[in-house]
Each structure stands twice: as C-alpha cells, then as structure tokens.
Structure 1
Amino acid sequence: MVSEAIINPAMMIWARRYAGFIEEYEELLPGYIKKHYKLWENGEKYPTWNQLRQVSNKYNVPTAFFFMETEPDFDDLPTLINFRKIDPDNYKNESPELIKEIRKSEHRREIYLDLLFELNEPIPKFEVIEESKSRRNVVKYIREKLGISLDEQKSWIRKNNSLDKEHYNFLNKWKEIIIEKMGILIFETDGVILGEMRGLCIFHEEIPIILLNGKDTTNGRIFSLFHELTHLLLGESAICENNELSDEEIFCNAVAGEFLVPADDLNNNAHIISTDSINGLSHLYGVSTHVILRRLYDTHNISHNEYNSRIETLKEFSTSKSKGSGGNYFNNVIKYNSESYCAIVLEAYENGIINSGEFSKFTNLKKKYIPDLQKRVYGGEQ
C-alpha cells in the first residue's frame, strides 16, 4: 500500500496561490494528479509522497511547507504588488512563470549579499539621483557614473577583429560595467513570454535588481537595460511591457534613447537617410534599427510619415528573433545568473565558505563546470 502524506489542505491552497495559479487547475500538473487535486484541497483525500513532491517542485516550495499548521500572511509575500502599485486582487494577472522568476531573482540577491558579507567584501549603497531629474541630467549622470565615453561605446561593434552584427558585445559590456560601477545585479528570465514583460527592476538601497526577458532580442535587452536603470535611479521598482505609455515609461524610454544615441552625435552622422545608413547607425551605436528610426524622428531628421512607413517596413521584413534557451548550456546559465553573481559564488567556493553541493545549488552548474567558470571569470570569455 502506498503511504499518503497527511498534509494541511489549507497549505495546498496557499502554495497554489503563492505560485500564481489562482483557478487554473487544468494547467497545473499531469492528468493523474489533476484528477485528485481538488480533493486534496478540500481535505477529502491526501496525495502520495511522490505526488506531493511533484506539487512541491511545481510550486517551488519545500514539501515540509504542506504540513504547517498556520498559513503565512499571503499579502506580505507577492513583491509584485509593490511593483505594479495595484490592488492585491489583480495579483492573478501575473503568470506563474513571471512570479517564479521574480522570487528567484530576490533569492539570488540574498545569496549574493550573504556571500559578500562572509567574504568581507564591501556592500555598496545604490545612489539615486538627488538633483533635478530632467532627461539631460539623468543621461549625464549615467554617462559619468559608468565612465564610458561615446567613442568607447562605438568601438564595441568589433570583437576579435570581427563585426558584432548581433550586438552581443554591447550587451555584455553594458551589463558588466553597470554591475561593476553601480552595484546592480542583472539577471535574465527563462520561460517568461515577451508579451508579458520585457524588463523589470526591483529597487533596494543595497544591490537593486534588473531582470531582463531572456527571450528578447539582444537589442531589445540593451534598451530595456537602460530603461530599467532609469527607473532605479528615480528610486522606483517597475515592470515594463510593450504597451505601457505612462509618463514614467515615456521618460525612461527617452533617457534610454538619448543615452544610447545622443541627439547631437546623431545629427552629425545622419546626412543621408537610407536603409543602408540606418543599418550603419544601428551598428555604430549598438542599438536596433527601430531605436535609430525613433531617434531620427525625435531629432527631426525624418518626418512622422516617413517614420511610420519605415517602421511598417521593419515589421514586414524583420527576421531578427531571440534564440531563447538554445545553444550552450554553460553560457545560458551565465546569461540567466549573470557572470558577477556566479563569480561571487565561485569565490566563496574557492575560499571554503560553501561546498560543491552549495555551489551547484546556487548556480545551477555541476561541479564539472567549475574550471569553465574559472576560465570565464579569470581568463576572459570562452
């Protein structure tokens, strides 16, 4: 006879809501579990231990959680509510995938802070902008804080004497410098649809978080990176979608556009507007052709009609898509976790603060990948 796990049914309900499943029984688990799920929540039956482990993995909570006598205060848990500034009833609008990624990013930040403390590394305070928050001041502040001139930015189009047409070098350089100079952790999601979220930021006075959608194009992630950075500099947490047109979103878009493609410099380079010149400007600044067109319109180099016409042409012929989670496993783990986070975990392992099991748990990399990570961190990219 298969032994049952005598759980608290109220905790089964709590865990489902915690994971973001409000009424979606049909999407929860395999059919043989769905068949009994409502009975578990009603207390009419109990799951087997194997079934409980599957539910535990789905909801990302320990199995011991289901045996608690008292439910935690649910309204204290969804950090998402603070981002949206919405009523808790709207919590059900967020997908379980997004909720999981947000909680994962917060958990990695806690690990990062703990390891910095144990390594006796300084924990920097994040500095918001105290002066006038005009677009010009914010752009100037970012440029000075990062210490990267426009000429240096333009030089990133070449890596190892090759043209970086996909702008991966731009993205990796910006992430590395923002983490180093501003003390921000930058992660990427795995499994969140692009229509729900392009980027989000979580404000903390120490080590805030930027979370980019890993399904987005390289150029899309570059723009979102500076959009989210602007929110943080204003002392805000935010989730950003494709269709939001609030004053805050418009301002953050304007800062990102002006920083990446400064108007004065663009005017000096926008002599003849053609498909080839637009592509050339895209590579010059390390942004998408869409951003270039928007900047050309904002700087009065093209008319509204020409802007709309060229945008429609881009939509019709664009073939640039994210490669998602394909490719090299090791590189994908670094992409989702960030090299800086993995480097701190590696340092803690090398100093005997954590063991190989904890290294694997914190990074999702098996012990066999440690030499690869050491080469990445200490000897340059693979």
Structure 2
Amino acid sequence: MAKSVKALVEPAVLAWARKTAKLTVEEVSTRIHVDEVRISGWEDPETDDAPTVRQLQRLAGIYKRPLAVLYLSEPPTEFQALRDFRRHPGSTDPTSPDLVYQIRRAQERRHIALDLLSIENETPSRLELQASLASDPENVGRDVRDLLNVDEQQVSSWRDAREAFNGWRRAIESKGVLVFQVSGIPVSQMRGFSVWEPELPIIAVNMQDAPNGRMFSLLHEFTHLMLREGGICDFEEDDRSPSQAVEVFCNAVAGAALLPSSDLLGDPVVVDHGRGPAWSDAELQDLSRRHRVSREVVLRRLLRFERTTPGFYRQTRQRFLQEYVRARESSTGFAPPSTLAVARLGKPFARLVLRSYRSERISLNAVSDYLGVRVKHLPKIEELVAAA
C-alpha cells in the first residue's frame, strides 16, 4: 500500500513545494507535528514512505499551494525570482515565506489578467518609457511626470497624502502597470517590490507603510520598471557599493518626480529661508503639506540641491524615522472586505474580473476567488470600481 501511495505523490514535487515556500524540514516538522526524518523521506525518491491525504492537505496549507499541485507528476515551472536589493548582514536568505507567497500571488494575478484580456480579445498596453543608470535623475523625473500627466496643479488638488497616493497609483495604472498592495509583511522587511514584464509589469507596495511611504515606493518601483528590471527594495542608501547603485538612482528619480526642482526651489518657504543648512520642523512640515510628500522627501531634495548638510539630513531623518515607528505602532483602523479587496488589487484588475463575469466569460465562483472575497461583497466592489 505504501508504494501505491508513493506513486501518487512525487518526492520532487514535495521538495519543490517546500523549498519555494522558503521553509526548512525542521520548520515543516514543527508545524505539522511529524518527525523530520519522515518528512525528508517523503522527499527522497529512494524511500517508499509518503504522507497521508490529511498530511498532504496540511502541507498544501503551509506551502500555500492548491492541493492539486502536490499531485503533479513533476515540479511546475516557477514564476521568476526577483533580485533582492535589500541588505541583511549575516543572512544568506532573508526572504520570508510570507513575502515569497505575496510575490507569487502578484505574479499569479498578472497571469489571470493576461488570460482575461486574451478571452476579451484585448491587447495589454506596454510601458514604453525607458531609463538607464547613465540618465540624469532630474530629467527622468520630469519625463515620469510628463508621461503620467501629473503637474503642480494636479498635486495641489489632492487633499492629503492618502489621496495623493491614490492619484499617483491611478496615473501609473493607466499606463498598463498592475499596482497591488500587500499586507502581513513588516515594513522593515519590504516596502515594495516590482516585476518587469513587457506586458502588465507589476508594482507592489506594503499596506502597513504610511501613505507617504507607499507613494515614494510607487515611484521608486516605477523607476525599476523603466530600467527594465524588478526586485525587492528597502530604499536605504548607507551602503554605496556598486550593488546599491540602482537603488540610489531609483530613489533620486522618485524624489525628482514627486518634488521637481522648480517646485521646491521656487517655493516661498525655500526662497525666504535663504542658504542656511538648518530647517525648522515647521518649515519642513509646511513644504511637506504643500507638495503632498513626506518630510523625508523634502529633506532628500534639499540635500540634493545643497540647501542643507549631510549631517543635518541624517540627524533629522533619524528623528523622523523614530516618530514614524511610534505613529505606526499606535495606528489602528478597519476597512470592510470590499474596500480592502479594491485597495489590494487595484481598480483595473477588479474591473477586468467583473467585466469578464458580466460577459459570461468566467463563473461567479471564479470572480470570488480572483478578488479574494465572498460573493456577497461583489455588489459593493462594483460600486467602488465604478467610481472615478
């Protein structure tokens, strides 16, 4: 009987599912309460041992894979891995299972969108704007604004940081980019990631980040797409090694797009301040509010144009980071499932799914599955995506 069961489950598939979930044999053993030797035996083609159906179900749950995948005859072709731009001293594999799952889910949704567009006989638009590390970040930032049709008047019309984030998101989505928001990942581990593809490239930002932080992530990752590469980012610049050149460039372009030099240097607060390197909190807050960017972006741009010193920048930025951590730790909030679904998936993706259902291309169960909500929430989602 053991051999017949083993024949239904390929050891290579079980090993692939565990490794791509970034779990060790020891971690799996702890979660399903099965001896490590047995789990290793399940992945060994030379042994006859195999998990029971119940154990397979539990494995599928912790590997975050459909049960049917574990019955495949061979490991499927995996979605592309992302370059990791983060620095984790002493760690050889810093990507957590939860982050791996979110990256995989984002790529799965892209494939769903491509399939639905094909069913509807539609061709996805392509992102044509390109950049290189040899480009001037200021010029690239202006190109980004021009492409997205965002100007100073548009920015000033946004009431606050949350509305500004949504405005930038809509502009980027209008260029054929899928913008997702992920949850359950600490901001310290990931603020954003991107996946470059010629059609429907992906940007994902962390919902646990503040709106201003997510806005910077959007433009940072959009720059990655213009460089025709994706990755997992944290945006730090303390390490000036060659591997960080891309991150430094993406930060510079994001800052230039969010706060152009003409807008900053022509602002009355900056003009009245003069050349002194020290800026008051009131001045920085005023510039942040007027230009709908974080105080850190203001600081970055002031440093870029030598209106402050590296020492003042580092000291003030560190204080802002401490304030940010305290604010995020004390923040609370609740949103209904329909609102969360649209926030996570974006209106273009949700509209595409609903349109395919209305044209009877997919079932109601598929809609519920693709949007990650119960059927009862679909009418509210339709209302949300219909809004401008």
TM class, shorter-chain normalised? 0.7 to 0.9
Residues 325, 294 of structure 1: alpha-carbon distance in 2 compared, 3 angstrom cutoff: same
**Kept after mapping to 2: 8 A contact 1:195/1:242:** no
Residues 28, 375 of structure 1: alpha-carbon distance in 2 compared, 3 angstrom cutoff: farther
Which of 253, 263, 274 is equivalent to 1:255?
Answer: 253
Residue 178 (structure 1) aligned with residue 172 (structure 2): yes
**Kept after mapping to 2: 8 A contact 1:126/1:183:** yes
Letter matched to residue 253 of structure 1: N
What's the offset of the Cα at 1:39? Answer: 5.0
After TM superposition, where is structure 1 displaced by more than 6 Å over at least 4 residues in a row? none
Structure-2 separation of matches of 1:67 and 1:306: 59
Equivalent in the alignment of 1:331: 339
Equivalent in the alignment of 2:150: 148
Which of 314, 339, 361 is equivalent to 1:308?
Answer: 314
Residues 50, 203 of structure 1: alpha-carbon distance in 2 compared, 3 angstrom cutoff: same
| More deviation, 195-204/310-319 | 310-319
**Kept after mapping to 2: 8 A contact 1:21/1:92:** no
Structure-2 separation of matches of 1:35 and 1:168: 51
Equivalent in the alignment of 2:262: 264
Residue 282 (structure 1) aligned with residue 288 (structure 2): yes
**Kept after mapping to 2: 8 A contact 1:198/1:240:** yes
Equivalent in the alignment of 1:137: 139
Which of 335, 339, 349 is equivalent to 1:341?
Answer: 349
What's the offset of the Cα at 1:379? Answer: 3.7
**Kept after mapping to 1: 8 A contact 2:130/2:227:** yes
In structure 2, stretches of 5+ residues that fail to align are 86-90, 274-278
Aligned residue runs from structure 1 range 55-94, under 5 A: 55-72=59-76, 77=78, 79-80=80-81, 92-94=93-95
Structure-2 separation of matches of 1:27 and 1:211: 32
Question: 1:144-182 CA distances to partner (integer Å, 9 max, x unpaired)?
Answer: 1111211211220x2xxxxx3xx11011111111101x2
Residues 328, 36 of structure 1: alpha-carbon distance in 2 compared, 3 angstrom cutoff: farther
Specify the SS of the correspondent of 2:335: coil
Equivalent in the alignment of 1:87: none
Equivalent in the alignment of 1:31: 33
Equivalent in the alignment of 2:16: 14
Structure-2 separation of matches of 1:352 and 1:333: 22
What's the offset of the Cα at 1:41? Answer: 3.7
In structure 1, stretches of 5+ residues that fail to align are 85-89, 159-163
Residues 283, 240 of structure 1: alpha-carbon distance in 2 compared, 3 angstrom cutoff: same
Percent identical pairs in the alignment equals 29
Report the count of equivalent residues: 361
Structure-2 separation of matches of 1:331 and 1:27: 37
Question: 1:19-57 CA distances to partner (integer Å, 9 max, x unpaired)?
Answer: 121454267624368795445445464333222112112
Letter matched to residue 112 of structure 2: I
What's the offset of the Cα at 1:92? Answer: 4.2
Specify the SS of the correspondent of 1:47: coil
Structure-1 separation of matches of 2:28 and 2:69: 23
Structure-2 separation of matches of 1:299 and 1:274: 18
**Kept after mapping to 1: 8 A contact 2:148/2:171:** yes
Structure-1 separation of matches of 2:299 and 2:106: 34
